[in-house]
């Protein structure tokens, strides 16, 4: 018997267990963009604060690995630190 994982990730590939289909089916959705991750979260295919945060973060990682930022420059607000210390 194999263990069921809510999130499967390898460099550049993210799969999320569709929790709406449980317990009758074990189906994984491939997530390759931030928009797809948002849709999985919005439709409650992924649930729980830790899983939501992980899916959101890993979706960004997948986009970066695949060059999904479209060559756009990342801009920071003027006069603000990129990672402010509070």
In the chain, where are the structural domains located? 7-65
pLDDT band at 67 (very low <50, low <70, confident <90, very high): confident
d(CA 79, CA 41): 33
Supply the pLDDT for residue 66: 85
pTM of this structure: 0.73
Supply the pLDDT for residue 69: 58
Tokens (6 digits) for 62: 């997948």
Torsion angle, CA of 21/27/8/12, rounded to 10 degrees? -120
Q: Does residue 78 carry a pLDDT above 70?
A: no
d(CA 79, CA 3): 49
> Average pLDDT of 69-78?
55
Superfamily classification of domain 7-65: translation initiation factor eif-2b, domain 1 (1.20.120.420)
Q: Are 58 and 46 in contact (CB under 8 A)?
A: no
Higher pLDDT, 57 or 86: 57
pLDDT, one tens digit per residue, over 3-51 is 889 999 998 899 999 999 999 999 999 999 989 999 999 999 999 999 9
């Amino acid at each position: 018997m194999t263990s069921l994982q809510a999130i499967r990730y390898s460099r550049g590939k993210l799969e999320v267990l569709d929790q709406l289909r449980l317990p009758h089916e074990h189906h994984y959705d491939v997530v390759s963009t931030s928009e797809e991750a948002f849709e999985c979260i919005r439709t409650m295919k992924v649930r729980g604060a830790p899983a939501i945060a992980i899916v959101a973060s890993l979706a960004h990682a997948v986009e970066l690995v695949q060059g999904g930022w479209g060559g756009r420059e990342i801009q920071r607000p003027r006069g603000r630190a990129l990672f402010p210390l509070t």
